[in-house]
């Protein structure tokens, strides 16, 4: 269940603080980069549904022509590492040939 307030979006086990660009779990919090924040927001808004790499890239960057496909992979990996630091392992799953899903 997703609960939105003006500055915080609650996604069950974690809170995305939109005012501070942070993810919060219980008493722990980690700052997110602009892209990590956007990725988590995109996946959170579509929780339980696959979001294609193309959709994510369009939301992150205005023009795909200047972005290497590997850039998104690096951002996803960094975000996953931060989530794991908070005890949220395997929250973002890769669906081969389809995209990513937030479970």
pLDDT band at 20 (very low <50, low <70, confident <90, very high): very high
The backbone torsions φ and ψ at residue 26, rounded to the nearest 5 degrees and listed phi first, read: 50, -120
Q: Are 37 and 21 in contact (CB under 8 A)?
A: yes
The predicted model scores a pTM of 0.85
Does 69 have pLDDT greater than 90?
no
What are the residue ranges spanned by the domains of the chain?
2-102
Exposure string for 15-25, b = 16+ CB within 10 A, e = fewer: bbbeeebebbe
CATH 1.10.1740.10 at 2-102, yes or no? no
The backbone torsions φ and ψ at residue 41, rounded to the nearest 5 degrees and listed phi first, read: -65, -45
Q: What's residue 62's pLDDT?
A: 66
SS3 state of residue 97: coil
Q: Are 94 and 100 in contact (CB under 8 A)?
A: yes
Model pLDDT for residues 77-100, shown as the tens digit of each residue = 999 999 999 999 989 999 999 999
């Amino acid at each position: 269940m997703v609960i939105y307030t003006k500055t915080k979006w609650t996604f069950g086990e974690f809170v995305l603080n939109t005012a501070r660009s942070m993810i919060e779990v219980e008493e722990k919090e980690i700052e997110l980069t602009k892209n990590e924040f956007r990725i988590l927001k995109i996946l959170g808004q579509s929780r339980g549904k696959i979001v294609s790499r193309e959709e994510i890239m369009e939301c992150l960057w205005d023009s795909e022509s200047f972005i290497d496909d590997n850039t998104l992979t690096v951002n996803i990996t960094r975000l996953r590492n931060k989530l794991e630091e908070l005890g949220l392992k395997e929250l973002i799953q890769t669906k081969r040939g389809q995209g990513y899903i937030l479970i």
